[in-house]
Amino acid sequence: MSKPPVARKVPVVVEKFGDRREDEYFWLREKSSADVIDYLNAENSYTREVLGPLKSFQETLYQDMLSRIQETDENVPYRKGDYWYYARTEAGKQYSIYCRKRGSLDAQEEVILDLNELADGKSFLGLSAFAVSPNGNILAFSLDFSGFRQYTLRFKDLETGQILDESFDRVTSVAWANDSKTVFFVTEDETTKRSDRLFRVALGFGSGTGPGNAAEELFNETDELYDIGVDATRSMGYIILTSESSETSEQYFLDANQPDGNFVSFMPRRENVMYHLDHAGEDFYITTNDRGRNFRLVAAPAGTADVSRWQEIIPHRAGVMLDGVDLFKTFFVASEKDGGLPQLRVFDMNTREPHAITFPEPAYDASVGQNAEFDTELLRFNYGSLVTPNSVFDYDVATRARTLKKQQPVLGGYNIGDYQSERIDAVAADGTKVPVSLVYKKSLKKNGPQPALLYGYGSYGLSMPLAFRPTRLALLDRGMIFAIAHVRGGGEMGKQWHDDGKMLKKRNTFTDFIAAAEQLIARGYTEPKQLAIQGGSAGGLLMGAVVNLRPDLFKAVVSQVPFVDVMNSMLDASLPLTVGEYLEWGNPNEEAAYRYMRSYSPYENLEAKAYPAMLVETSLNDSQVMYWEPAKYVARLRTLKTDSNPLLLKTNMEAGHGGASGRYDYLREIAVTYSFVLSQMGVTE
């Protein structure tokens, strides 16, 4: 077998606060350099060679996962105006086909956007905006063909099938006015990818201005901590412009029937206060954390921000996180998190009396689904768990009856009774209980430790959902336990859970994950030589940090698009996302934050010692974690590690942060990942 690639060293010295760091692989940032591409290709060749003996196993895994999926399928149609909208897939085709039917589901199908046609000859396709005008005649959609999440906005006349001449680059959000010809859209900064400018344009169809009409800039957010976005309320009453950092927000509103008017600030930004505005009837409804980190809900007459006229509907509660509110004509729904689990509470719009939608399992995932209509008595919600396939329900608010519209098909004779899910607690060093969710096949032998894969993330207040994944059966059916560590930095236990795992408390995320691994071992589920771990993006940071702290605890690591070069990235304000991230990790231009981040940054803290087997996956066109972070990390680790365990770097040269865009290509990527994990557990068939 060939020797692993060796990246040349070109030392660059970085000094900050008297701390002298040497970055010998800084040159890997030069994406246009032939040397960089050659190095990445060499690493890919080495990875293919090392995993070569697993090629037939990868094909088996791919076919196994594919056999679980209903390739020709259709999601549950939803109503908007005169039409029923849905997306479907066809066997052999990589992408979805978006369709609608007028009046009833028995009507003739109209294909409004076939992504397979648009992707012809392209190696990548990403769809972002998909917004039909209120009159149903025009589709606004945005596409990215690079993986860099750089979307171009286009318009399709659904009556003629023609793509209009108008197009706008770097668009991140879109909203229609009620006249069905005025469009508001937000664009991003070319360098930092921060969404910062709002435009208005009247398209050239029907009455009004002609094709090529220049877009009018309405707003420019100059504060680098803030991003903006635009949306229309479900009531179709207002267009809402939001400017927010991760800790502070300000919103502006415009009557959707007066698109030529001016946006008005609802309430000026106040540091560390967030609010989110929506509309129903004569009122604005506002969720805000002005009286507590977990948010409350208030109502006020539409158009006023006079706090003296606010009426509190849902008070702040220390133990319950109010994630959001969905408004309808006669009711509204509060999405909450209590005890680490999602809750849906339905309120009568007049009496404001609530009732809860109950769920049958002790651990599950539930969320408000696709609800385009404001005037309805039905609430669509999604439900699933680690063992229950994702299910779509329509809930009659008046009768409280629920109707299952569709459960995700799982082919191959899947029987929910063959699998077991559990939820246990690990205890962190400071006494905090950290939830750990598990799923495995009931036939699993329990006469000793078993192979296990422990997944983690723990950043940005994002919760890890207990959702069903048919691809995961390829692991469970081969005797593996799958577990999720709900560590601090995530949002499972409310906003405080996030606060206790960010900034100068970020190390809690890492030690919580280690505690979760130790608990699985202590309870006899697994042992270090049979324990693999996985995380992506900020979860890749988690992987890098925990293997630096406790490399003895794990057999194998899958680190996907990992944020591992923390210091160099956070000190470079020209990179996408960096400045806004100061509120999550800290500002390294402040000495206390610098030294704290320096103490855990994976790239900076690699040492000459034994490390677990490691597969590091990235994409050349990733706009969120640049490819060079994992590339530099692997290059440096090769020179330091004292073991003979495989260290592999796999770069998708044609994709972005989420990997391959085509559904079959994506399955093949998972097959490679699973083959690595399973082979490290001694399973190769």
List active site positions: 537, 622, 657
Give all strands of the β-sheet with 402-407 in edge-to-edge order.
365-368, 378-384, 391-396, 402-407
- Show the tokens assigned to 288: 């805000």
Where b means 16+ CB within 10 Å and e means fewer, 595-608 reads ebbbebbbbbebee
How many other β-carbons are positioned within 10 Å of the β-carbon of residue 232? 21
DSSP state of 496: H
Structure tokens given for 621 = 């066109």
H, E, C per residue of 631-657? HHHHHHHHHHCCCCCCEEEEEECCCEC
Backbone φ and ψ for 632, nearest 5 degrees, come out as -65, -40
* CA 385/CA 399 separation, integer angstroms: 25
Angle at 409 between CA 403 and CA 413, to 5 degrees: 120
User: In whole angstroms, what is the distance from residue 506 CA to residue 432 CA?
Assistant: 15
Give the pairing type, strands 419-427 and 331-338. unpaired
Q: Please state, in angstroms and rounded to a whole number, the distance separating the CA atoms of residues 281 and 397.
A: 18
Q: Which two tokens stand for residue 469?
A: 């994944």
Q: What are phi and psi of 265, to 5 degrees?
A: -70, 130
* In the block, residue with structure tokens 């990215």: 144
Measure CA of the first residue to CA of the last residue in the chain; give whole Å. 23
The CA distance from 428 to 514, in Å, is 8
Q: From 219, 179, 222, select the one nearest 200 (Cα to Cα).
A: 219
Gap between the Cα atoms of 426 and 522, Å rounded: 10
3-state helix, strand, coil in the chain (%, to 5): 20, 35, 45
Query: How far apart are the C-alpha atoms of 225 and 1, rounded to whole Å?
Result: 49
CA–chain centroid gap for 538, Å, is 11
Q: 92: phi > 0 → left, psi -120 to 50 → alpha, else beta; which?
A: left
Question: 């560390």: which residue's tokens?
Answer: 272
Q: Which two tokens stand for residue 420?
A: 């077991």
Read out DSSP for 391-429? EEEEEETTT--EEEEEE---TTT--GGGEEEEEEEEE-T
Residue 240 near residue 277 (C-beta atoms within 8 A): yes
Q: With beta carbons less than 8 A apart as the criterion, state whether 230 and 173 touch.
A: yes
